[in-house]
Amino acid sequence: MAGTEPRVGQLRSKIEMTLHTYPAVLAWHGRGVESGKPPVVGMKQFLTVAGRIHQAAIQDDPYADQWLLLLEDKIKETRQVLHQLQKRVEGILEQIPEGLSVSRNVSQQPFVTPVFTGGQLGWQAVMLLMEYDSIVRDALLAHHIGLLGNKQRSSLIRDQGGHALRSLCYAPVRFPGFSGATRDDFAANNAKARNAREKFGEVASDILEGTRRSEFAPSVRNERTAKTADSSGGLEGSDLDDDELFPDSDEVKD
């Protein structure tokens, strides 16, 4: 029928993560109080809280956008640390003489798990965990063939790479949840906004106005966009409009 909007089903993808080293698996699970040792926040917990932040940002909570910016900065910081460690370990492995063939070490029984995250920042964090797993593999290989001593190995795996990853996992744990106020509430300066300010403090003006958001911030879903999505068949995850899809298109002429 002429003029009818085309419809397409939602995209789905099965994603699994494979880890080869014990330190990386520990970083994924973390450590609970049942161990009798101080608890450690793992990547699984990070993804749970990061997902809550993502959902609060969808509800137009400016505090959630502030948290997304903090997480984005923390991910960039962690990526830089791990990249430097990876280059360092690769440089050590380059010392292997040409006549000695050493294959990449792999686990005979790797840890494989499906992965679900609450947004793009969660996926970036997962990929950093996998980069850490790669660093551990190379560090253990370098130690096995005598290119790294015990202290150097421990420093790379635990004190440097492990510390950077644990610091990332702890970054969102103090997120208090949805503030109960949206940008419209702040514009109206109503009771919801005043209560949020009292509990959580002020938000930077550019964040409050929505002019500064994370590069990976979700589209805001308010009452108007919800009605639009319902009337178009309930499709999710389509943030592109015609102008973005065809930025330079000209009107078709006969």
Q: What is the pLDDT of residues 169-210, one digit of tens each?
A: 999 999 999 999 999 999 999 999 999 999 999 999 999 999
Q: What is the pLDDT of residue 197?
A: 96
Q: What is the pLDDT of residue 13?
A: 76
- When pLDDT is averaged across residues 221-235 and rounded to a whole number, the result is 45
Helical H segments across 145-177, by residue range: 150-154, 163-170
| 206 or 32, which is more confident | 206
Q: What is the pLDDT of residue 32?
A: 86
The percentage of the chain sitting over the pLDDT mark of 70, rounded to a whole number, equals 85
Q: What is the pLDDT of residues 95-149, one digit of tens each?
A: 999 999 999 999 999 999 999 888 999 999 999 999 999 999 999 999 999 999 9
Q: What is the pLDDT of residue 243?
A: 52
**Which residue ranges make up each domain of the chain?**
16-96+110-204
Q: What is the mean pLDDT of the chain?
A: 87
Q: Angle of helix 43-58 relative to helix 120-144, nearest 10 degrees?
A: 160
Distance, in Å, from the CA atom of 145 to the CA atom of 20, rounded to the nearest integer, reads 18
Q: What is the pLDDT of residue 34?
A: 83
Task: Report the sign of the C-alpha dihedral through residues 55, 73, 49, 208, in that order.
Answer: negative
Is residue 6's pLDDT more than 70? yes
User: Cα 227 from chain centroid?
Assistant: 29
Q: What region, left, alpha or beta, does residue 105 occupy, with left being phi > 0 and alpha being psi -120 to 50 degrees?
A: beta
Distance, in Å, from the CA atom of 211 to the CA atom of 57, rounded to the nearest integer, reads 14
Is residue 233's pLDDT more than 90? no
Q: What is the pLDDT of residue 36?
A: 82
The percentage of the chain sitting over the pLDDT mark of 90, rounded to a whole number, equals 75
Let me know the angle formed at the C-alpha of 32 by 162 and 133, rounded to the nearest 5 degrees: 30
Structure-block tokens of residue 189? 């300066």
Q: What is the pLDDT of residue 232?
A: 35
Q: What is the pLDDT of residues 63-74, one digit of tens each?
A: 999 999 999 999
b/e 31-43 (16+ beta carbons within 10 angstroms → b): eeeeeeeeebbbb
